[in-house]
């Protein structure tokens, strides 16, 4: 049926007639449904296509009924098979998707099928807001879709299921198999007990993804993250691109639902949706699966950062000039220490590590040792918070060193450099930037922009005003990701503010070290002095 079904001009009446005829035959044969269930356990996609229904109140506008058979198109079948493999092998997976691909209905349908056909399955669902998981009468909520899907199944598969009895808030019970759905929201995801598999809806948009990661790691072996992209500075994107994995075996299996794989959609549909949406950033995010263009307000867009990888080689520039180390200081908490070595325009190496206890002396010593090995005699450090103790520790360490290493404090929350100088849009620095942190990030942004224009667009450039990230750096891939994480906005006075950790992402320690390394706090240069 699937091969011959016309998804653009569907004949749903014919499908319903075929189903009615099929079920009449089955009901006339004793034991037919039990035999069929055994078959469907290995053919879950067929179960959905044979008996599933979806409900879309927008359909009458297109001359179609609201209730329609759920006929899976080929890419949806592939996803069901991919999911079943994740479940059977007890392994995680990630699904990136364009908007309007029917993935919410599909995830609900496959979960219902697993619960109807197998004993003792516990299917977990979670999203950032409770109403996205379960809200009575809301067709957008996942559990509302699930209740509808179950209610449309033949009674032989429902096994006495009654919505009022077996589907309370945030829970659905399957009396025929003792399987169930459980729902959670916000930071409570994964805290409700163990599950056979867990669907995380809009995973890139979680407010505190690290808390969710920690909870789910203890309660399920089959976590499926489902989301449209939201830039590269979040755990969903890091999983998608396999960042910070120790080996290929640690990579999460990725499934892509691009709108072009949907036979109901074509270029005409795409152009109309682009006109309807209007915002290029949202189009990139929700239709084109573009991780680089999907976040508005990014300080340093990812294409600019990627252009800077080995830019000195691409542009034939030999690095010369200043040698120093940017040092982001942290104690034993969730934050990390990080250093980054700079030689002129070149970022040579970088590393991040977890501090030992509240005493930062070991981290300062580690940074000094790296500087000594790399002929670097100056450190610019984060002097706010725990970094206030660096100066005293440096004094102790320098007493035993043949070559003294100077330390220069960086106060990101302090006032801007050259406050009265007009540098951007004929506005003084004090009127454009809220603090030194904003000014520093913007200065680095200028370097990356000039590098991008030189490398990609072939524009003329000053070799002292670009930046190059060596691909031989120990953690350069992580640095590249972190540099595109920070976003900017304006306060009530119209001054630029920097958010280094938008939407609960981790602190970009390597990127912070890079900002400090290029801040040139003692010198004139790209701080518009």
Domains and CATH numbers, the chain: 73-286 (3.40.50.300), 302-517 (3.30.420.240)
pLDDT at 526: 39
State the burial class of residue 411 (Cβ atoms within 10 Å of its Cβ: 0-12, 13-18, 19+): middle
d(CA 436, CA 440): 6
Please determine, for residue 524, whether its predicted confidence score (pLDDT) is greater than 50: no
* Whether the predicted pLDDT of 187 surpasses 60: yes
Q: What pLDDT band is residue 279 in, cutting at 50, 70 and 90?
A: low
Model pLDDT for residues 94-116, shown as the tens digit of each residue? 999 998 899 999 999 999 999 99
Residues 399-403 have a mean pLDDT of: 86
pLDDT of amino acid 112: 98
* Residue 297 confidence class, pLDDT cut points 50, 70, 90: confident
pLDDT at 280: 61
pLDDT computed for residue 294 by the predictor: 54
What percentage of the chain exceeds 70 in pLDDT? 94
356: helix, strand or coil? coil
Q: What is the model's pLDDT at position 388?
A: 81
* Between 520 and 460, the higher pLDDT residue: 460
**Residue 28, number of CB atoms within 10 A of its CB:** 8
Mean pLDDT of 60-88: 91
Q: Confidence band (pLDDT; 50, 70, 90) for 503?
A: low
Give mean pLDDT, residues 169-178. Answer: 96
Element of type H or E holding 423: strand 422-424
DSSP letter (8 states) at residue 32: H
**CA 213, CA 189: separation in Å to the nearest integer?**
9
pLDDT at 402: 83
- Name the token pair of 270: 């795409």
For the segment 169-186, the average pLDDT, to the nearest whole number, is 95
d(C-alpha 225, C-alpha 103), whole Å: 12
Mean pLDDT of 150-177: 96
What is the pLDDT at residue 177? Answer: 97
Spatial distance between the Cα atoms of 95 and 80, rounded to a whole number of angstroms: 11
Tokens representing 135?
């809200």
With tokens 């300080």, the residue in question is 299
CA distances for 24 relative to 17, 30, 31, 218, angstroms: 11, 12, 14, 46
Residues 86, 253: contact at Cβ < 8 Å?
yes
Dihedral Cα 500, 501, 507, 509, nearest 10 deg = -20
Per the DSSP assignment, residues forming a β-bridge with 487 are 298, 499
d(CA 512, CA 336): 11
Determine which of 64-68, 160-164, 517-521 has the lowest per-residue pLDDT on average: 517-521
- Written as one string, the DSSP assignment of 126-157 is EESSHHHH--TT-TTSHHHHHHHHHHTS-HHH
Q: Give yes or no for residue 365 having a pLDDT over 80.
A: yes
| Three-state secondary-structure class, residue 486 | coil
Q: Is the pLDDT of residue 1 over 50?
A: no
Is the pLDDT reported for residue 525 higher than 60? no
Q: Are 376 and 346 in contact (CB under 8 A)?
A: no
């Amino acid at each position: 049926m699937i091969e011959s079904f016309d998804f653009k001009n569907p004949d749903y009446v014919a499908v319903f007639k075929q189903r009615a005829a099929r079920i009449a035959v089955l009901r006339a044969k004793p034991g037919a449904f039990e035999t069929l269930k055994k078959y469907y356990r290995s053919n879950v996609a067929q179960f959905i296509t044979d008996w599933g229904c979806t409900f879309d109140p927008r359909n009458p506008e297109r001359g179609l009924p609201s209730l329609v058979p759920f006929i899976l198109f080929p890419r949806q079948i592939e996803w069901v098979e991919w999911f079943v493999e994740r479940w059977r092998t007890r392994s995680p997976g990630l699904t990136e998707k364009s908007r309007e691909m029917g993935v919410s209905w599909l995830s609900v349908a496959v979960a219902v099928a697993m619960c109807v056909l197998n004993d003792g399955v516990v299917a977990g669902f979670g999203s950032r807001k409770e109403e996205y998981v379960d809200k009575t009468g809301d067709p957008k909520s996942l559990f509302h879709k699930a209740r509808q899907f179950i209610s449309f199944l033949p009674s032989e598969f429902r096994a006495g299921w009654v919505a009022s009895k077996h589907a309370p808030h945030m829970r659905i019970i399957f009396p025929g198999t003792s399987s169930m759905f459980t729902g959670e929201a916000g930071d409570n995801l994964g805290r409700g007990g163990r599950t056979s598999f867990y669907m995380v809806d809009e995973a890139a948009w979680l407010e505190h993804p690290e808390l969710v990661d920690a909870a789910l790691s203890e309660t399920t072996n089959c976590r499926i993250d489902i989301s449209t992209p939201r830039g590269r500075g979040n755990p969903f994107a890091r999983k998608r691109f396999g960042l910070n994995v120790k080996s290929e075996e640690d990579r999460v299996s990725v499934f892509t639902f691009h709108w072009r794989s949907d036979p109901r959609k074509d270029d005409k549909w795409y152009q109309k949706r682009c006109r309807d949406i209007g915002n290029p950033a949202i189009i990139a995010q929700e239709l084109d699966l573009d991780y680089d263009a999907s976040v508005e307000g990014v300080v340093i867009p990812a294409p600019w950062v990627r252009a800077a990888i080995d830019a000195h080689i691409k542009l034939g520039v030999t690095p010369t000039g200043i040698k120093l180390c940017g040092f982001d200081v942290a104690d034993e908490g969730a934050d990390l220490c990080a250093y980054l070595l700079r030689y002129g325009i070149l970022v040579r190496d970088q590393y991040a590590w977890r501090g030992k206890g509240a005493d930062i002396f070991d981290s300062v010593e580690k940074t000094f040792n790296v500087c000594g090995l790399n002929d670097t005699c100056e450190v610019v450090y984060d002097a706010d918070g725990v970094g206030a103790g660096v100066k005293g520790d440096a004094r102790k360490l320098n007493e035993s060193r043949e070559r003294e290493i100077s330390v220069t404090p960086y106060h990101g929350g302090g006032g801007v450099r050259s406050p009265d100088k007009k540098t951007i849009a004929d506005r003084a620095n004090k009127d454009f930037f809220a603090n030194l942190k904003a000014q520093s990030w913007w200065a680095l942004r200028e370097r990356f922009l000039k590098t991008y224009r030189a490398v990609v667009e072939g524009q003329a450039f000053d070799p002292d005003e670009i930046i190059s990230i060596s691909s031989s750096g120990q953690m350069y891939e992580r640095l590249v990701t972190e540099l595109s994480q920070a976003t900017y906005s304006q306060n009530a006075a119209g001054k630029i503010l920097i958010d280094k950790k938008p939407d609960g992402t981790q602190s970009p320690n390597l990127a912070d070290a890079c900002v400090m390394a290029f801040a040139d706090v003692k010198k004139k240069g790209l701080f518009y002095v």
